[in-house]
């Protein structure tokens, strides 16, 4: 099969949501339909009997939340589907933002009872900035929730997107009877306490079917009235409007009970974009180009704690990636080859010989890669859009076990490379400062240092408002600033100068007194 046909077969998308909207459960059901797993693990608070396939880190299994993006691939209906299941928790937003750069489209999961939540709004803003096509799945219809029309209004107003329902529920909670698939014009009836399968589902092609009129005449009449209103109120669905991110299809269902899942997956495969072109600093890269290009969007240490391996996740942008072939690392300007590139099914890995645009490849990494690195067949290009943001919370990190200082140093070094937090070293004090965007990240770092590296750490408080990277065209003024502010200077993991502002006032005064200095709040400068 040629390169163009392989590109046509691929769909790479991210699943995003506020925590606990059912995102990981929906991912599980997609994998079930694709035959990638045999049993789904339900994630319920902290009492986890069978953990979800996509939650593979030990801390995720204990807490019942996703704290790292996991990558899964499966085949369904002659398509190769790549899912990026992202953390919903706001403390891990940066991992999610970076992952969205590797996705061609997204499915946003919303809880029918809670509606649009703050984290969902933030994530959709990032998707809209990148013009990523979105499909919304309104989940948990088997529980009491908001009126579907009210939900549609809320989604439109809060997320500032145009919506078009492509399925519609009959009732909700105890009155939930099923979902009508507007896209394929089929009705599937719901059996409470029973998960929907092909064998036990009642499917009707015609809403005037005598069995429906006899069995549930009132709900069917309500459905007909609702559908008439849907057609009158919402714009007609056009494929190109969705792919241009001008309109957002909305589906309803219950991921836990398999309801509405088949419908969204089938429609998604029909309408979602294939791998698209990527923007590099130098030029636009098209997927059908013969020569391979790809970029690192995530690094994960200890994917398998038994082997202490570190994996760089690479999105293939163009050409064909081949095992044992030499590729050019543009930042280091050196040739590297990979003897065991892997494809993923959560934490399960299998060695592959080749990969195509849209695929996610795992490369064993001994410290060669940083997030944002580009691999090519020789061309010197750099893919854009992988910033690190200025952290919001800070703590000194100290060694709590002097016998394990080597392990602590290695653990901090590798975990910081993943991009979940940032490390700053005080110029005068030499003390190490961890900066994060959320409190939970400190707990995750402490937990992983202990369980993956055998190192104990403790945190000390630090009075710090913000860190910012500093640069200047005037080298003399830069040196003067660093000397005058030496107590507030640090270097980041890559040796760049960082100013530690203790308060908004201190930052404002520094900016006013040193107009020649540029203060950067993302690392992409």
450-463 pLDDT, tens digit each: 988 899 999 999 99
With a pLDDT cut of 70, the percent of the chain lying above it is 84
Task: Count Cα neighbours of 289 within 13 Å in the Cβ-side half-sphere.
Answer: 18
Q: Is pLDDT of 501 > 70? A: yes
> Quick one: pLDDT at residue 112?
94
Q: What's the whole-number mean pLDDT along residues 214-227?
A: 84
Q: Are 404 and 454 in contact (CB under 8 A)?
A: yes
Query: Using CA atoms, how far apart are residues 463 and 429, in angstroms rounded to an integer?
Result: 15
> Residue 485's pLDDT band (boundaries 50, 70, 90)?
very high
Average the pLDDT over 134-142 and give the result.
Answer: 94
CB 433 within 8 A of CB 462: yes
- Contact between residue 25 and residue 255 where contact means Cβ atoms under 8 Å apart: yes
Over residues 283-297, the mean pLDDT reads 93
Give the pLDDT mean for 228-244.
94
For the segment 285-299, the average pLDDT, to the nearest whole number, is 92
* Domains, the chain, ordered by start: 3-68+105-271 (3.40.50.300), 278-376 (3.40.50.300), 393-520 (3.30.70.3280)
Structure tokens at 381: 């290009």
Mean of all residue pLDDT scores within the chain = 84
| Residues 114-132: tens digit of each pLDDT | 999 887 887 888 788 888 9
- Maximum Cα–Cα distance for the chain, whole Å? 86
Q: How far apart are CA 267 and CA 249, in angstroms?
A: 10
pLDDT at residue number 46: 32
Quick one: tokens of 190? 């719901």
Is the pTM value of this prediction over 0.85?
A: no
pLDDT value, residue 130: 81
Round to whole Å and give the CA distance between 507 and 102.
35
Helix or strand (DSSP H, E) at 311: strand 310-318
Question: Residues 6 or more apart from 202 whose CB is under 8 A from it?
Answer: 188, 189
Q: CA-to-CA distance for 344 and 322, rounded, in angstroms?
A: 16
Instruction: Identify the pLDDT of residue 74.
Output: 84
């Amino acid at each position: 099969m040629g390169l163009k046909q392989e590109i046509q077969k691929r769909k790479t998308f991210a699943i995003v949501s506020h925590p606990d909207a059912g995102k990981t459960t929906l991912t599980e059901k997609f994998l079930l339909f694709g035959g990638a797993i045999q049993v789904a693990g339900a994630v319920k608070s902290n009492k986890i009997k069978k953990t979800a396939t996509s939650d593979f880190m030990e801390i995720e299994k204990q807490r019942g939340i996703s704290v790292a993006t996991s990558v899964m691939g499966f085949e369904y209906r002659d398509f190769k589907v790549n899912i990026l299941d992202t953390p919903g928790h706001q403390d891990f937003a940066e991992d999610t933002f970076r992952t969205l750069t590797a996705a061609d489209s997204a499915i946003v999961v919303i809880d029918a009872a809670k509606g649009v939540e703050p984290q969902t709004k933030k994530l959709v803003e990032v998707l809209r900035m990148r013009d990523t096509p979105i499909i919304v799945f309104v989940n948990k219809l088997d529980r009491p929730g908001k009126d579907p029309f009210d939900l549609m209004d809320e989604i439109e107003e809060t997320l500032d997107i145009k919506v078009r329902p492509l399925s519609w529920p009959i009732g909700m909670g105890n009155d939930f009877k099923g979902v009508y698939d507007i896209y394929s014009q089929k009705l599937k009836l719901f059996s409470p306490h029973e998960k929907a399968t092909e064998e036990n589902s009642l499917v009707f092609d015609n809403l005037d079917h005598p069995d429906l009129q006899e069995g549930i005449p009132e709900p069917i009449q309500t459905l007909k009235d609702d559908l008439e209103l849907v057609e009158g109120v919402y714009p007609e669905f056009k494929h190109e409007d969705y792919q241009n991110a001008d309109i957002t299809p909305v589906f309803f269902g219950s991921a836990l009970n398999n309801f509405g899942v088949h419908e969204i997956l089938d429609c998604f495969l029909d309408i979602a974009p294939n791998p698209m072109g990527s923007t590099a600093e130098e030029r636009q890269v098209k997927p059908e180009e013969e020569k391979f290009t790809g970029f690192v969007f995530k690094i994960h240490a200890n994917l398998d704690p038994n082997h202490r391996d570190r994996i760089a996740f690479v999105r293939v942008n163009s050409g064909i990636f081949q095992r044992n072939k030499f590729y050019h690392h543009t930042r280091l300007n050196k040739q590297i080859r990979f003897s065991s590139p892997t494809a993923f099914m959560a934490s399960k890995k299998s060695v592959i010989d080749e990969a195509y645009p849209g695929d996610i490849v795992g490369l064993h990494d001994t410290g060669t890669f940083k997030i944002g690195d580009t691999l090519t067949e020789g061309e010197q290009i750099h893919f854009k859009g992988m910033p690190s943001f200025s952290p919001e919370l800070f703590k000194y990190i100290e060694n709590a076990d002097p016998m394990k200082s080597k392990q602590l140093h290695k653990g901090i070094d590798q975990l910081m490379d993943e991009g979940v937090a940032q490390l700053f070293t005080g110029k005068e004090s030499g003390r190490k400062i961890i900066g994060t965007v959320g409190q939970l990240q400190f707990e995750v770092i402490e937990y992983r240092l202990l369980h993956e590296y055998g190192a104990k750490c403790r945190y000390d408080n630090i009075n710090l408002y913000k860190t910012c990277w500093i640069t200047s065209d005037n080298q003399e003024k830069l040196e003067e600033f660093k000397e005058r502010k030496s107590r507030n200077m640090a270097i980041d993991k890559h040796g760049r100068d960082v100013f530690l502002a203790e308060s908004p006032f201190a930052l404002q005064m520094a900016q006013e007194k040193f107009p020649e200095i540029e203060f950067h709040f993302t690392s992409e400068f």
